[in-house]
Structure 1
Amino acid sequence: MAEKDKFDEFLDEVEQDIRQAKFKRLWDKYGKLTSSALTVVLVVLAGYSLWSNYQAREIERQADYYIKAQTYLEQGDTTKALALLKELSSGHKTYATFAKFSEASILAAPGDKKDIDKALSLYQEIADDSRLELVWRDTATLQFISLSFEKDPKQAEALLTKIEPLCAAGRPLQALALEQKGVILYLLGKKAEAAEVFVQIVQLSGVPEGVKIRAQTMAQQISSES
């Protein structure tokens, strides 16, 4: 099934479930914070997993905790937010994973709580958890690669090796993985190889429109530079 079709299927499931008041509060609160394609993937899958495997009372309690943590973040109180997220990380599998992603995001951001090594450790922990759906693990791997490259561009070749399996046909985030691969190649000065990757993205079926537009733009940019 194409990536877009998978996303649409997940969204249909979520739209039915968020009519429940408790999860709608979480969706409304967290939806305001979405800022990237990867975050959208996390939100959609969180809703799908929660409402297909939920344990009502515990999930309701953890929903309250998560909303409270996001409120602290909006208020700039990262200390209290991190404390709640760490507590959630040992709870229900979906919320535990969601909390780890959020904690890693805070630790990777500029500020007095910045700790890139800890953020990388959390992303790797998620990626290595065989109990999780592949899309969660691939999302964590992509975040790990992006942050690792930001920390030390000299790791680029090793990171390209790490991202290669995610670029294979059938992987849930193939287009996003290819996009990241193309960006790394471009920043390394390997423009011809980067262009091939971006053209490959454009030619894939079912690619999210935003990803395809960015790939077309990059391919055109590289062509104009040659």
Structure 2
Amino acid sequence: MSELFDEVDEEVRRDQFKKLWDQYSIYIIAGAFLIIAAVGGWRGYQYLEAKKAAEAGAAFDKAVELSEQNKHAEAEAAFADLAAKGPSGYRMLARLRAAGEVANRDPQAAAKMFDDIAADRGVGVEQQDLAKVRAAGLLLDTSSYPTILQRLEAVAAPGATYRHSARELLALAAFRANDMTAARQWLDMIANDAETPASMRSRAEAMQALLPPVAKS
């Protein structure tokens, strides 16, 4: 008798399943197709992005090679093209390198390009600070100490990524302006920062030796 009931239950379940399938099969099939399409689309997107990144990496390496061969005009054009059309990961690097290539022929124009990067709110703080340092370095010979100070004071603050380079440029600008008090201030900051690179520390010590006795630490 129990076997008969089991067979009846099984038949009922089959009928219920058939009714559910007849009612909802189109939605189940459509959902399965959507999942397959979504997975396929995502895989395709990942493939295309990886392909673009690989192509951009090769283009960037080629531009660097042109620069190292002193083919600056060609390197500038290659970096500019990558900055305009490349993936976001390479775009900023290419903008920085393009400005560096322009510096070989027109420091003022290159400084303007670095200033544009520094003012771009879509750029990370570290990239902005690097651009500020590069621009100030190009303008060091033609700008006053107050101008360089305005550009780099925030970048030279404790904890800033490019503070070491900013402090060295500020010390040089102050020294050239005959502001020995300011020069000593920046040189002391270089000397007292435990993370100052050894080569920069040595240059700071050499510059300190040139200060008048009254301005020495």
Query: TM-score if structure 1 supplies the norm length?
Result: 0.66
* Counterpart residue number, 1:146: 137
* Counterpart residue number, 2:174: 185
Partner of residue 103 from structure 2, selected from 84, 100, 108: 108
Provide the aligned length of Structure 1 versus Structure 2. Answer: 166
Partner of residue 123 from structure 2, selected from 107, 123, 132: 132
* Counterpart residue number, 2:18: none
CA distance in 2, matches of 1:81, 1:174: 29
Q: Which amino acid aligns with 1:83?
A: A
What is the deviation of 1:130? 2.3
Q: 1:60 to 1:225 in 2, by over 3 A?
A: farther
What is the deviation of 1:108? 1.2
What is the deviation of 1:88? 0.5
Q: Which amino acid aligns with 1:108?
A: A
Partner of residue 78 from structure 1, selected from 72, 75, 78: 72
Partner of residue 93 from structure 1, selected from 79, 88, 108: 88
CA RMSD of aligned residues (A): 2.1
Q: Which amino acid aligns with 1:135?
A: E
Match status 1:213 vs 2:202:
yes
What is the deviation of 1:223? 4.7
Larger Rg: 2
CA distance in 1, matches of 2:118, 2:80: 18
What is the deviation of 1:182? 0.6
8 A Cα contact 1:134 1:172, kept in partner: no
Q: Write the deviation string for residues 95-129 of structure 1: whole angstroms up to 9, x where unpaired.
A: 212112222112112xxxx1233212210121112
Percent of aligned positions that are identical = 20
* Counterpart residue number, 1:50: none
Q: 1:190 to 1:97 in 2, by over 3 A?
A: same
CA distance in 1, matches of 2:81, 2:202: 40
CA distance in 2, matches of 1:107, 1:84: 12
CA distance in 2, matches of 1:74, 1:206: 30
* Counterpart residue number, 1:40: none
What is the deviation of 1:225? 9.2
* Counterpart residue number, 1:56: 50
Q: 1:217 to 1:106 in 2, by over 3 A?
A: same
CA distance in 2, matches of 1:59, 1:180: 36
Q: Which amino acid aligns with 1:161?
A: Q
